[in-house]
A and B are shown apart, each in its own frame.
Chain A
């Protein structure tokens, strides 16, 4: 148990569906992240929230919409996805950023998304 949970673990959706991925951390962290993991590619950082404020959007298409209502919860809302969006979506959390700290990231188990 790493303290970061993700639901659902598996999701199959059509291109016209709307779904949401949920991430929850129980570590008292203040920064949360969404990553996309595709086969044979490096993990791609999608979004970063620090103290509930979005601090990074790594040129992610608007069909992915993040939401961070508080420091413990992070959502990724999905709509009109494409088959190439099929991947493992990982959530991570870390302490809020302060200069000089390592801010180790703790990862959740991921959601395996398949877009038909």
Chain B
């Protein structure tokens, strides 16, 4: 069974600075998807960024980028130029390819953004 581990329960970053959230996962599959979801205090979970395992290039979405290390099974999220609106719970998630659409989530990292 796949597992996802987020070893940082809480992180803090100053506004305009850069922060990296870590995520590791365990799988025997060679092709899969990885996701970072954001859950602000209002609780609506939204997708931040995704990575297909077969792609070597790291995904980027504006201020959000990932460092995908397939051999190390690591999938960290980097937030540049942090903003107050980035404060939220961040969840790393894994999904196999194929017809099964089950997402496996980590326990989340709470990100605080300070002035």
Cβ–Cβ < 8 Å partners of A66 in chain B: none
Interface presence of B97 (CB below 8 A): yes
Interface presence of B36 (CB below 8 A): no
How big is chain A's contact interface, by range? 20 to 34
Cβ–Cβ contact B103 & A105, under 8 A: yes
Which of chain A's residues 5-42 have a Cβ closer than 8 Å to chain B?
Answer: 31, 40-42
Cβ–Cβ contact A108 & B50, under 8 A: no
How near does chain A come to B74, taking the closest CB pair, in angstroms?
18
Cβ–Cβ contact B45 & A94, under 8 A: no
Cβ–Cβ < 8 Å partners of A43 in chain B: 91, 103, 105
How near does chain A come to B114, taking the closest CB pair, in angstroms?
23
Cβ–Cβ < 8 Å partners of B44 in chain A: 2, 107-110
Binds B, one of A68-76, A77-85, A95-103: A95-103
The distance in angstroms between the C-alpha atoms of A80 and B97, with both chains bound, is: 37
Which of chain B's residues 85-104 have a Cβ closer than 8 Å to chain A?
Answer: 91, 95, 97-104
How big is chain B's contact interface, by range? 20 to 34
How near does chain B come to A69, taking the closest CB pair, in angstroms?
20
The distance in angstroms between the C-alpha atoms of A103 and B98, with both chains bound, is: 10
Cβ–Cβ contact B106 & A94, under 8 A: no
Cβ–Cβ contact B101 & A48, under 8 A: yes
How near does chain A come to B24, taking the closest CB pair, in angstroms?
14
Which of chain B's residues 27-71 have a Cβ closer than 8 Å to chain A?
Answer: 33, 35, 37, 42-47, 50, 52
- Additional A-B contacts beyond A2-B46, A50-B101, A110-B44 (10; CB < 8 A): A31-B101, A40-B9, A40-B107, A94-B101, A97-B99, A99-B99, A102-B33, A104-B35, A105-B47, A109-B42
Q: Would you list the 9 A-B pairs with minimal beta carbon distance, nearest first?
A: A107-B45, A43-B105, A42-B105, A109-B44, A103-B101, A97-B99, A110-B43, A42-B107, A97-B101
Residues of B bordering A, CB below 8 Å: 4, 9, 33, 35, 37, 42-47, 50, 52, 91, 95, 97-108
